[in-house]
Amino acid sequence: MCGLFTLTTLLSIAPAFGSWGDIQEPAAAAATAAEVEFFEARIRPVLVERCYSCHNSSKRAKGGLVLDHRDGIREESDTGTAVVPGDPERSMLLKVVRHEIEDLEMPKDGPRLDDEVVADFERWIRNGAQDPRDAPPSATELSALTSWEATLARRKLWWSLQPIRAVEPPPSAWSDHPVDRFVESELEGRGLARAGPADRRTLIRRLSFVLTGLPPTPAEIEEFLADDEPGVTERWTDRLLASPRYGERWARHWMDVVRYADSHGSEGDPAIPNAYRYRDYLIRAFNQDVPYDQLVREHLAGDLLAAPRIDSERGIDESAIGTAHWRMVFHGFAPTDALDEKVRFVDDQINVFGKAFLGQTISCARCHDHKFDAISQKDYYALFGIFASTRPGMQDVNAPAMQALHQERLGGLKLEIRAAMAAAWSRELAVDAGARKVLPSSSPPSLPSPSLDGDSVPNARRWDLGSAAGMAEWFPTGNGLRAGQAGAGAFAVLAEGERVLAGIYPAGIYTHLLSTRHRGVLQSARVALDGEYEVWFQALGGGGAKLRYVVQDYPRGGTVYPITELQNATWSWHRLDLSYWNGDSVHWELCTALDAPVEAGGGERSWFGLRQVVLRRKGAGPPAADPDPLASLPADRGAAWIQAAIDAWARDTATDAQALLLDACLREGRLANTLADLPEVAQLVARYREVEAQVPLPTRVPGLLEGDAADQPLFLRGDHRRPGELAPRRFLEAIDAEPYATASSGRLELAEDLLRADNPLPARVIVNRIWHHLFGRGLVATPDNFGKLGAAPSHPELLDYLAQRMVERGWSIKDLVRFLVASKTWQLDSAPPDGALAADPDNVWLSHARVRRLDAEAIRDALFVAAERLDPNMYGPGFGADTATPRRSVYVTSRRNELDAFLAAFDSPVPFATTGARASTNVPAQSLAMLNGSLVREVAEQWGTSMRADPRFATDRLRLAHMFAAVTGRTPEDGEIQALAAYLEACGAGVRADRQRREALGARLVFDATVLESVLRPVRARLRAAASSAAAPAGPAPFARWDFRESSRDTVGALHGVLHGTARLADGGLLLDGSGHVSTPPIAPALAEKTLEAWVRLADLDQRGGGVVTVQGLRGNVFDSIVFGERIPRRWLAGSDGFRRTEDFGGSDESLAGDAAVHVAIAFDADGRIRGYRNGEPYGEPYRKAALVPYKAGDSQVLFGLRHGSPAPGRMLRGVIVEARLYDRALSAEEIAASAAASGVVSRAAILAALDEPARRQVILLEAPVAASRAELADLGEPAGEDEPWILVAHALFNLKEFLYLR
C-alpha cells in the first residue's frame, strides 16, 4: 500500500483542483477506510515531502524522531511524543508545525505549512491518526521516496505541469459564452448571486481604460451611447484594439514582466543605451498582434532566427530587438569579484526568464534543488550555461539589406580608385621600364613576427588577425566586419577632406574599409588567466573606437576595468595589464564608438583595425615594432621598391611590408594623396563619397552576442568559488532533460523547448496574464508563480479552455482579449450582489466586476486626456521623470536611481524583477501628490485656463458638465452640477477677496516703507559717503570695473560693456530681464588666477542658472562664472564648463538678494582652489576640483547676465547688476571683505548703530509692519488670475475618487 505508485496516483488527484470538502466527517469507529484514504491523500505526501529527509529510520533521525512509520511517529522522543492518536493538544508534531515552540519551528528551512495542511494534521490526529505504515521503509525504499528523482516525479504531478486538458464549457441558461458558462457553474455551485450588467457609460469607460489605458472622451462616450445597432460593444472593442494606444498600454504591462529599465542602477547609474527601442518594439508588436509564440521566440533568440520578422518600411529586423530585455539587469560598479557580479546578473536573467514565460521561481534553485517545485539545481545551472554563454552587447537591427546597402558599389568604386591612383603614382615615379623588370626581387623584406621568446609561462599566446587561422577564436559582428579578414593592401577612402586615402594596410581585420558609418564589434574567445599576464594589441582606430579586456562578461568600465580609446591612425602596440585578474576568465573586445554595451560614447563615424594580439607574462615588454619602411629603403633603388609595391597593390598581391611602405609614402608625401594632386581620381572620389554618405547608420539595440559556448559547473551551495560537476545546457528536466547538442549558447533550442506542445506553462501563464489585466485579478492570483507557493487557479478548467483556445487560434493576444471582453462576466456591474461581499470578499468567483484604482500611468495619462492635451506622438527616446510633458507615461525614462516620483507613488514597480501583478496601495503620498503636487496643478492650470475661454460651450454649466464628464465619464446630476457651480462661484469670490487683500496690503506696505526709508536714507547715504572716503585707499585695485549706475564702460581699462537684447541701464544698475546680456571685447593679456566680484539684486530667488559675471574663452565653451541657483536652487555657484570646476560651496540659501543688492565674489587661486564670498564673508567652503583654467592672451572676454556662450533659456540672469569688478589675481579674504565694506554695502546693524536711541526705536517700530506686510504678501504667493476658479475646479475634479477608480 505504501508504494510510490499508489502515492502518486493519490497525489495526482490531491492538489489544488481537488476539493476534499465532500469527505464526510466519519463516525469515529466505522470510517477507518475513509480515514486511511485521508491519510494517503493528505498526510503521507506531506510527511514524505517535508519530513522524511530528516526524520527517518535509515539515515537520519533528528532529535531522535522518526516519522516514516507508525510506531516511530507514536514513539516518545527527546522532545515528547509526536503523535498521540485522538489528542491533538498533546501531539508535539502539531505544536512544531504550528510554530508554537521557539527554535523548534518545523519544517526547518521552509515556510510554515499551509493552514489547511495543519488543519488536516489536526483532524487526522483527532480522528485517531489512522496510519497504515506498519514497518519502516527500507533504505532503498526511503531513498526512492526522498531521492531527487522521486521528488521530481511527485512534483511533476503539480497542476500547472499537467497537460492542458480539452474541456467543454458546462451548460448555462444565462449565457452561451464559454467564459460565462464556466463562471456561472462555479457561482451556481456556491449559491452566489450575480450582479447585473454594467450600464453602457460604465462599460465604455472600462473598455477604453482596460484596452488602451486611456479614458474615453465625452464625445466618444456620446458616440458610443448613440450607437444602438447590435454588436456595438464588439465594434468598439475592435476600434480600440486597432488604436495605436492599445499597444502602448499592453507594452507597458509586458515591461513590468521584464522589469524594463533605461539604466543599470548602482554607482553612476549608467544608461542602457537605446533601451527605448525595445519599448517601441513592444508597442509595435502588440499593435500588430504578433503571435505570442513568436514574441517568445524573439525574446529568447530573435537575433538568431532563420526567418526573422523584417519591417521593410522601417528597414529593420524586428525579431532581433526582442532580446534587449536580457540587458535590463542591474550592474554593480567596478566589482572586485567579477564572477560574483556575473552570477548575480545571470541569476537576474534566469529569475525573469522563469517567472515571465513559465511562472516558475527557477532562481530559488541556485543553491539547492527547489524546496517545493519540480526544479533541480541542475536545471538552474543548465539554464545558467545557456545565458552565460552569451555576452552583453550592442546589436544593429537594421535589416540585412540595409546593413549591406551600397557595399558592392563602394567596393567597385574602390577598385577604380585604386587603379587610377596606382596609374597616377606610376606616372609620377617614372621608373623606367628597365628598372621595373628587376622589380620582383626588389621589395622590402617580410615583417618579423613578434617573438614569444622569454615567455616561460606556457600560456603565452599570439593571435594573428592577418591569417585565416588567427581568426578561428574570434567573433566578429557588425557590417563593418562582415567581409571578415582583409588581405595586405586593404585600404580605406576618406569620406571627406582634401586627402583621398585614409591608409593602406597589411592583412588584418578592419571596420572601415568601405565606410566609417559601418560598425564592428570584435570579441575573442575566453581566456582563463592562470598567472600574471599583460596583453598587447597591435591596433589603430579613431572616432572613439574602444579597446578593452572584458572580465567575466562584465560590460561596464571603471577603475580596474579600463577602456582604451583608439586614437591612432598608424600602427602601435597597446598594452593592458591583466595581473589583477589572475584566476579569472577574460576576453578581448574592440568596438566602434557607439557599440560598447554600456557607457558607449563618441560619434557615429568611428573605426578600428587589428593585426595582432599577444598575451605574455607581465613585464615581458612590448613585441617588436614594425621597422620603419622608409628608413629601410635602399638609397639607389628606393623608387623601384615603391613602384614594385604600387604594382603589387594594384594587382592585389601586395605583401604586408609593401602595404606598410605605401602607407608610409602616403604619410610622408612621397606619393600623392590629395585631390589637388590627383585630378584624375577626384571625380571617382566624389562619386564614392556621394554613395558613402548614403550608407545607413546602424540602428543600435542592446542585446546578446554569441561567443564561445560552454556548460556551466554547478556552484555548490550557490558559492561561486566552489564549482561542482558540469550541468549540460538544456531545458527543465520536468519537461525534457536532454542536453542540447549545439556549439552555440542554446537559446534557439530553449525557445523551441519553451513552445513545445507538451510544455503547458507558457500558454497558461500568458492567458492568465491577459485575464489579470482585463479583470484585475488572475484566475491564478499570482501571475508570476504557478508553483507550490503560488495561488491555485480559481477556475482551472476555464484556464485550460482559454490556453487551448489561444494555442489553437495561433497565439493571438488580441483575439483572446476580444473574446474575454465580449463575455457577460467581463461586462458585469461592479456593485456586489447581496451576500457577495460576505461570502466571497475577494470576488474570486466573479459575481461582479472588480473596482480598481487606475494604475500610475493611466492616472497620469488620463490627466492629459481630460485636459485634451495628450500628445499622441509615439516612440523615440524617453523624457525626464516628473515633468508635465504631455506624452504618454510609457515613454517616461525609467532611470533606476531616480524613478519618477509621481508614478512610484502610485505603485509603478521598481524595475528589479518580474511584476505581473502590481500592488495597489492607498498611501498619503498619493493624496499629497494629487492635492499638492506640481504635475496635477500644472495640468489643471492648463485645462482650467483653456476651459474658461472655450468657445464650444455657451454657459458655465455646460463647461462644468463637460469637465465632469471628461473626468468621470458620466453626465453630472443636478445636485452635482450645482455643487460645482457653487464651488466655482465661491472660488471667484475667494479670488476677489484675495485681490482686495493684496491691494490693501500693498498700499500699506508702500506707505510704511516710504516712512521707514525716509528715516534710513540719510543715514545710509552718510555711512556710505564716510565709508567710501575712508576706504578709498583700502580697496584692492581691480583689473576692470563697471559701475552700471553710471554706464557700462570699464572705468579702469578698455573692457567696455556692449548691451545686447533687452539689457538696459535702469533701476540703479544694469537691468536684465532674461532676454538681455552684456559682453566686452577680448581681454588683452592672458588671465589665469582671478577674482570675479559683483553687487547684484535678483528679480526673483527661484530663477535657475543665470550668470552674473563670467570670464569665458571667446568660443564660449570654457568659462568661469558667478552663477545663481543652477545646481541647487538659491545657491551661489562657481559655474564652469560641464561643471568641471564646479562644486556646491555649501553656503546658505540666498534670501536677501531679492530685496537688496548683495555682494558676491569668487576667487580662483593658482592651485585650482575656488573660494566664494557673500557680503564680504566666506560663502560655504572653498574647494578644489580641477586645475585652474588659463585663458590665453586676447582669447577671453567678460559677460554679464549670461552664463556663457550665446543667449539661451536657463543661462540668463534676471535682476539688476549694480556694479562689477574683475581682478587679475585671487584676492585674499581680507581684501574681499575690505572691498565689500568699501563699496557701500551698508548693513542694517551699521545703520542701527549710527542712529540715536529714539530714531533706532522708531526704525524698529516701523520695520515691524513692513516686515509683516511683506510676510503676508509672501504667504499669499502669486496673485491668482481670472482663471483661478476654473483651475481649482479642474484640480478638484482630478482629485475625485471617481476619476482615480475604475468601476
Partner 1 sequence: MPALFPSRRDLLRRTSTGFGMLALSGLMARRPEVARARHVIFCFMSGGVSQVDSFDPKPELERLHGQPMPVSIARTQFNDNGNVMASPFRFRLYGASGIAISSLFPELGKVADELAVVRSMTSSVNEHAQGNYLMHTGFPFMGHPSAGAWANYGLGSENENLPGFVVLQSGGAVAPHGGVGLFSSGFLPAHHQASIVAADRQPAVRNIVPGLGDAAQRRHLELIGRFDRDFAARTADPQLEAAIHNYETAFRMQAAVPEVCDFSGESEATRRLYGFDATEPSKAAYARQCLLARRLVERGVRFVELSCITKNLGAGGAPNPWDQHSALEAGHGAMAFQVDQPIAGLIQDLRARGLLDETLVIWAGEFGRTPFSQGADGRDHNPFGFSIFLAGGGVRGGTVYGRTDELGYRVVEDRCDVYDLWATVLHQLGLDHKRLTYRYAGRDVRLTDVHGEVLTGILA
Residue selected from 924, 1018, 1138, 1254 as contacting partner 1 according to rule CB under 8 A: 924
User: Counting contacts by CB under 8 A, is residue 789 touching partner 1?
Assistant: yes
Alpha helices in 896-1044, H assignment, sequence order: 901-905, 924-932, 934-948, 956-968, 974-1031
User: Which of the stretches 427-435, 810-818, 863-871, 931-939 binds partner 1 when contact is defined by CB under 8 A?
Assistant: 931-939
d(CA 659, CA 649): 7
Site string for partner 1, 1172-1211 (x = CB under 8 A): --------xx-x-x--------------------------
Chain residues 67-106 in contact with partner 1, contact rule CB under 8 A = 99, 105
Lay out the site mask for partner 1 across 565-604 (x = CB under 8 A, - = otherwise): ---------------x------------------------
For partner 1, give the closer residue by CB, 907 or 1067.
Answer: 907
* Binding flags for partner 1, 638-677, as an x/- string (CB under 8 A): ----------------------------------------
Q: Closest CB to partner 1 among 85 and 268? A: 268
Query: Of these, 136, 476, 520, 790, which contacts partner 1 (CB under 8 A)?
Result: 790
Assess 851 for contact with partner 1 (CB under 8 A). Answer: yes
- Report which residue type is found at 80: G
Q: Is the peptide bond before 762 cis (omega within 30 degrees of 0)?
A: no
846, 856 contact by CB (below 8 A): no
In 3D, which of 359, 189, 152 has the Cα closest to residue 791?
Answer: 359
**Residue 554 corresponds to which cell in the numbers above?**
562584465
Q: How many CB atoms lie within 10 A of CB 442?
A: 18
Report if residue 202 touches partner 1, rule: CB under 8 A: no
How far apart CA 622 and CA 613 sit, in angstroms, is: 11
Of 460, 499, 793, whose CA–CA distance to 616 is shortest?
460
Q: Give the binding-site size for partner 1 (rule: CB under 8 A).
A: 95
Q: Does 1074 contact partner 1 by CB under 8 A?
A: no
Q: Does 1167 bind partner 1 (CB under 8 A)?
A: no
Q: Report how far residue 219's alpha carbon sits from residue 536's, in angstroms, rounded to the nearest whole number.
A: 70
Q: How far is the CB of 1051 from partner 1 (least distance, A)?
A: 35
Instruction: By CB under 8 A, tell whether 857 contacts partner 1.
Output: no
* Minimum CB distance to partner 1 smaller for 936 or for 1005: 936
**Shortest Å, Cβ 396 to partner 1:** 30
Give the x-and-dash track for 1247-1286 against partner 1 (CB under 8 A).
-----------------------------x----------
Q: How far is the CB of 580 from partner 1 (least distance, A)?
A: 5
Strands (E), 1140-1184: 1158-1164, 1169-1174, 1177-1178, 1183-1184
The correct pick among 925, 1011, 1101, 1273 for binding partner 1 (CB under 8 A) is: 925
Assign 700 to helix, strand or coil: strand
At residue 883, φ and ψ (nearest 5 deg) are -115, 165
Residue from 100, 84, 94, 101 nearest 117 by CA: 94
Please report whether residue 926 would count as binding partner 1 according to CB under 8 A.
yes
Spatial CA neighbour of 700 closest among 286, 298, 272, 283: 272
1105 in contact with partner 1 (CB under 8 A): no
Compare residues 70 and 1169 and give the one whose CB is closer to partner 1. 1169
Contacts of residues 1185-1190 at CB distance under 8 Å and 24 or more positions apart, as own/partner, are 1185/1140, 1185/1141, 1185/1142, 1185/1143, 1186/1140, 1186/1141, 1188/1088, 1188/1089, 1188/1164, 1189/1088, 1189/1118, 1189/1120, 1189/1136, 1189/1141, 1190/1086, 1190/1087, 1190/1088
Binding characters for partner 1, 1125-1154, by CB under 8 A (x = yes)? ---x--x-----------xx-xxxx-----
Binds partner 1 by CB under 8 A, chosen from 111, 244, 448, 1085: 111
Q: Which is nearer to partner 1, 265 or 541 (CB)?
A: 265
d(CA 974, CA 978) in angstroms, rounded, equals 6
Dihedral of CA atoms 433, 435, 440, 442 in degrees, nearest 10, equals -150
Query: For partner 1, which residue of 473, 708, 868, 907 counts as binding (CB under 8 A)?
Result: 907
Residue from 173, 919, 954, 1274 binding partner 1 (CB under 8 A): 919
Q: Pick the piece of the chain touching partner 1 (CB under 8 A) from 234-242, 442-450, 871-879, 897-905.
A: 897-905
Q: Which is nearer to partner 1, 874 or 904 (CB)?
A: 904
Q: How far is the CB of 146 from partner 1 (least distance, A)?
A: 22
Kindly state whether residue 330 participates in binding partner 1, applying the rule CB under 8 A.
Answer: yes
- Indicate the residue among 420 and 1170 with the shorter CB distance to partner 1: 1170
Query: For residues 1060 and 1127, which CB has a smaller minimum distance to partner 1 in the complex?
Result: 1127
Rg (CA), the chain: 39
Closer residue to partner 1 in complex, CB, 269/455: 269
CB-nearer residue toward partner 1: 630 or 931: 931
For partner 1, the binding residues in 829-848 under the rule CB under 8 A are 830-832, 837
Q: For residue 501, report the phi and psi dihedrals to the nearest 5 degrees.
A: -100, 140
As measured in angstroms, the least distance from the Cβ of 1044 to partner 1 is 31
CB of 1066 to partner 1, least distance (A): 33
933-992 residues in contact with partner 1 (CB under 8 A) are 933, 937, 976, 979-980, 983, 986-987, 990
Nearest distance from C-beta of residue 785 to partner 1, angstroms: 5
Q: Which of 335, 480, 542, 1215 forms a contact with partner 1 (CB under 8 A)?
A: 335
Return d(Cα 1233, Cα 1247) in angstroms, integer: 18
* CA terminus-to-terminus distance, the chain: 54
Residue 799 CB, shortest distance to partner 1, in Å, is 19
Chain-centroid distance of CA 936 in Å reads: 25
CB of 798 to partner 1, least distance (A): 23
Task: Give the shortest CB-184-to-partner 1 separation in angstroms.
Answer: 23
Grid coordinates representing 372 are 517545493
Give the β-pairing of 1106-1113 and 1119-1124: antiparallel
Query: Judged by CB under 8 A, which stretch of 63-71, 337-345, 518-526, 1098-1106 contacts partner 1?
Result: 337-345
CB of 403 to partner 1, least distance (A): 36
Which residues in 107-136 are b (16+ Cβ under 10 Å) and which e? beeeeebeeebbebbbbbbbbebbbebeeb
The contacts found for 687-692 with CB under 8 angstroms, 24 or more apart, are 687/413, 688/410, 688/413, 688/414, 688/417, 688/493, 689/493, 689/495, 689/496, 691/406, 691/409, 691/410, 691/413, 692/406, 692/410, 692/493, 692/495, 692/514, 692/515, 692/517
3-state secondary structure of 733: coil
265 scored as a contact of partner 1 (CB under 8 A): yes
Write out the three cell numbers for 252.
507597458
The helix (run of H) or strand (run of E) holding residue 453 is none
Under rule CB under 8 A, which residues in 140-199 are in contact with partner 1?
A: none
Using CB under 8 A as the binding rule, whether residue 270 contacts partner 1 is answered as: no
Among 75, 222, 473, 898, binds partner 1 (CB under 8 A): 898
Please select the residue that binds partner 1; options are 784, 857, 1008, 1231, rule is CB under 8 A.
Answer: 784
Query: Which residues, in sequence order, are bridge partners of residue 491?
Result: 504
Which residue from 8, 79, 883, 1295 is in contact with partner 1, where contact means CB under 8 A? 1295
The single residue among 151, 160, 217, 361 that binds partner 1, judged by CB under 8 A, is: 361
| Structure-block grid coordinates of residue 1128 | 541647487
